[in-house]
Structure 1
Amino acid sequence: MTKVKSAFTAKGIESITATDKRQEIPDPSLRGFYLIVQPLPGGAKSWAVRYRGKPKYTIGAVGAWALKDARKEAGRIMRAYDEGRDPRAEKRELLSDDNLIENVLAQFVKRHVKRKNRDSTAQAQQRYIDKELVPRWKGKHVATIRRRDIVTMLDDVVESGRPQAAVRLLALTRKFFNWAVGTGWLDASPCVGVPVPAPLVKRKRVLSDSELRLVWKGAEAIGWPFGPMVQLLMLTGQRREEVAAASWSEFDLTGTEPFWTIPAGRAKNGNEQQVALAPTAVSILTNLPKVLGQGDFILSTNGDTSISGYSRGKRRLDEAMMEIAGSEAEESGYDPKEVKLEPFTLHDLRRTLATRLGDLGVAPHTVEAILNHARVGVASHYNHARYEKEKREALLRWERHIKKIISARPDSNVVSFSKISLRDGGE
């Protein structure tokens, strides 16, 4: 039987060899903490606790538990015994199917995500859970997720070319584990100390007139359902989820001043928003196909749910824009191989509308009202004006500008073929 005279060390544990007999080797520095070495031919090593006549408690394999972590866990187990609790029963409960990561995440969505967030935010967080967390960790118990698992996940997302998605994923993962601690699923969060995987970048991209023209033409080319959504984003300046999940019941297209009312439950700031609809927007809406089903969505392929698959739709839009730009360049005597397109996201269309309205002379408070931004400072308490007349005039002015640029010849002063990379489009 091997004996150790001083505190366990990682190097010392590695040097202990298996024999033809099972060995239980106590740690001289922590009474009750043991290294278990199984007999040959297996010779597996594990950590265990024997404390004050209580049944042996197996912590886990040496390969899965670093010495410092196993020693810390042994201390926790001994405290549980001192407090009259049964750590073995707690472990059985912890390892029940109720504590599988996919089941705890389902509870997190039900009890936190859907209760604490507006619908669009809840849907976005659900997508991250479904696409990143569940596929990666399904079948694991929530208490077995380690900091290293989280860092590895974030590194994989960054290396896939999505650093900002990794930043958002860390925020959601941290929120989940904090919730798990607060609701008793865990004693501590494995996210503690996890570094932010990339700097948070505030986008400043504003599309030029020639780019807006290509976006519109590309949307026409790809057609239903993603194309009309993109055109409505351009004309209204509203958020992607607000347009994609809009219902027919939100629209009044019959009067002389048609409008779209985004209910408070779907608006990011929780404030109902009335959006003036220019004639082109009304035309797009009235020509949308009606999909049979139980739902009321204006953009749906099955009648029951709003459209999704934004990344796939964005790639189709990028490809259509590139094809149109190449063809027009060739017709104008340019080498189509020299034409490139700067990457942009759908949210950049909203920023472009806001910036260009300012260029067209629209007052800042009207632009903010169109975007339905939350008011701050004194205005949030005293100014409750909705500026509906000003918003309608501004969006009609914007529609005229859009019509002007999409009807321009590709070789005119409005449109130029400057070198512009259609890389990953994203959201």
Structure 2
Amino acid sequence: MAKSVLTQKKLESISKAASAKSYSVRTEIPDAGQPGLYLVVQPSGSMSWAFRYRHAGRPRKMTIGPFVLGEDATFTLAKARESAQEASRIVSDGRDPAEVREQEKAQTPEPVKVDLVEDVLDEFVKRHVKKKNRESTQKNTEAFIDKRIRPEWKDRDIRSITKRDVVKLLDDIADDGAPESAARVRAILSKFFNWAVDRDIVDASPVPKGSTAKQGASRERVLTDEEVRLVWLACEKVGWPFGPFVKLLILTAQRRNEVAHAVRSEFQLGGNNQLWTIPPERSKNGREHLVPLNSVVLEVISGIAGVGETYLLSTTGETPISGFSKAKKAIDAEMLALAQKHAVASGLNPNDVNLEGWTLHDLRRTAASGMARLGVPVHVIEAVLNHQSGTIKGVAKIYNRYEYLERYVFKPVHIPPL
């Protein structure tokens, strides 16, 4: 091929032809503007720069690098010529530019590989969380990751995370009034870093053995009858959809997501055998769970607005309800307003009213406590809660306590209406 000086316009023309697969064989286009420099065009359309020279009496070739059009190209025409000029100087010194480049590459330390926590978390969710857990657990785990872990460490190299970092994160969550969340985050971090160890991403897990952070003791919060009454009345004030939702938590003693994600087809409301069947894929222990429905539950369900044909509780018709924290705050506000109103009616200062904090899961424990107080056998309570026998450690203690109180000191307490 006759030599001519390559220009940007010629390169654009060559690139267009290469993209159209106009080159049926490998073609070398020499640049008269720089001796030894060639543009190599492949039949596939890819292009690269090469430098031809002689060393020790033999013809040699060295690839300079790929060529693509655009301002971000690593080897533009100017840079390719500059590399060819440097190679020519090396040849004139009696050395082989290809060998010199290999020697320089060997002496240059490889860049330290950085695995950002953000990226490793994405892989963990994709390859572990979504493959090893039920859908409800997946969503719960991802929510904790996105809210509690990712914002804190997303730009950190995972190898830079120390035990002190983990303890501080867990302490901060616990100090924010969420010891249960701290415990949940610790469990997720333990699985995350153990998974990273197995994949040789980190050498060891920084998650401390045991509970070194202030994660709080296992909760034993049980709402009083008065508090349950306030919750119920607050639910009526809040209304759809979280009012009926929390009422169902109280009445059925089932888990938050089991109620929130309930599907209409799971309910048998007609005839003499009203029943809610929670399928194995939605229950925590993976077993089908039957929940008999009493008249009060049926009344709550009958008052639920029908949005969509799939979920019992939905505001979109396509997805179950969410936003529990916001709903909980609304219920708390209504409870406080009701308690202050009662204080005023009783001649007390409403500003002195203080309500103890509680969680939605506490309603489940409260139901277990109420059943124990009524003398319901512990194995029946376990069945209602869908716990495998022997796993609900607190129920036996609650049951024994109420059995003692009933026999010796328990006296019914009258709760006046508002």
Alignment of 1:24-423 (within 5 A): 55-57=107-109, 88=110, 91=112, 94-95=113-114, 99-191=115-207, 196-292=212-308, 296-376=310-390, 413-415=414-416
Segments of structure 2 that go 5 or more residues without pairing to the other structure are 1-104, 392-411
Shift, 1:150, TM fit: 2.6
Letter paired with 1:298: L
**What CA distance in whole angstroms lies between the structure 2 residues aligned with 1:193 and 1:206?**
30
Letter paired with 1:414: I
* Aligned partner of residue 338 in structure 2, secondary structure: helix
Show CA shifts across 1:143-172 (max 9, x none).
343444333322332332323322321221
**What CA distance in whole angstroms lies between the structure 2 residues aligned with 1:172 and 1:189?**
12
Moved over 6 A (4+): none
**Structure 1 pair 365/147, CA: closer, same or farther in 2 (3 Å)?**
closer
Letter paired with 1:348: D
**Structure 1 pair 116/367, CA: closer, same or farther in 2 (3 Å)?**
same
Q: Which of 1 and 2 has greater Rg?
A: 2
Percentage of identical aligned residues: 44
**What CA distance in whole angstroms lies between the structure 1 residues aligned with 2:148 and 2:221?**
27
Letter paired with 2:234: G
**What CA distance in whole angstroms lies between the structure 1 residues aligned with 2:170 and 2:375?**
44
**What CA distance in whole angstroms lies between the structure 2 residues aligned with 1:242 and 1:168?**
19
Query: For the Cα contact (< 8 Å) 2:182–2:215, is it kept in 1?
Result: no
**What CA distance in whole angstroms lies between the structure 2 residues aligned with 1:274 and 1:212?**
25
**Structure 1 pair 117/323, CA: closer, same or farther in 2 (3 Å)?**
same
Select between 165-174 and 256-265 the one with higher mean Cα deviation.
Answer: 165-174
Segments of structure 1 that go 5 or more residues without pairing to the other structure are 1-52, 58-87, 378-404, 406-411, 418-427
Shift, 1:245, TM fit: 1.1
Query: For the Cα contact (< 8 Å) 1:170–1:196, is it kept in 2?
Result: no
Show CA shifts across 1:273-332 (max 9, x none).
00011112112112212224xx72222222222222222111111110111111122223
Task: Provide the aligned length of Structure 1 versus Structure 2.
Answer: 294
* Aligned partner of residue 341 in structure 1, secondary structure: coil
Shift, 1:192, TM fit: 5.3
Q: CA RMSD in A?
A: 2.6
**Structure 1 pair 156/203, CA: closer, same or farther in 2 (3 Å)?**
closer
Show CA shifts across 1:371-422 (max 9, x none).
1111249xxxxxxxxxxxxxxxxxxxxxxxxxxx9xxxxxx932489xxxxx
Shift, 1:54, TM fit: 5.4
What TM-score, normalized by structure 1, do the two folds share?
0.63
Q: Which fold has the larger relative contact order, with Cα–Cα distance below 8 Å and residues 6 or more apart in sequence?
A: 1
**What CA distance in whole angstroms lies between the structure 1 residues aligned with 2:417 and 2:299?**
29
**What CA distance in whole angstroms lies between the structure 2 residues aligned with 1:334 and 1:252?**
48
**Structure 1 pair 147/199, CA: closer, same or farther in 2 (3 Å)?**
closer
Query: For the Cα contact (< 8 Å) 2:174–2:216, is it kept in 1?
Result: no
Query: For the Cα contact (< 8 Å) 2:134–2:281, is it kept in 1?
Result: yes
What TM-score, normalized by structure 2, do the two folds share?
0.64
Query: For the Cα contact (< 8 Å) 1:146–1:190, is it kept in 2?
Result: yes
Query: For the Cα contact (< 8 Å) 1:163–1:198, is it kept in 2?
Result: yes
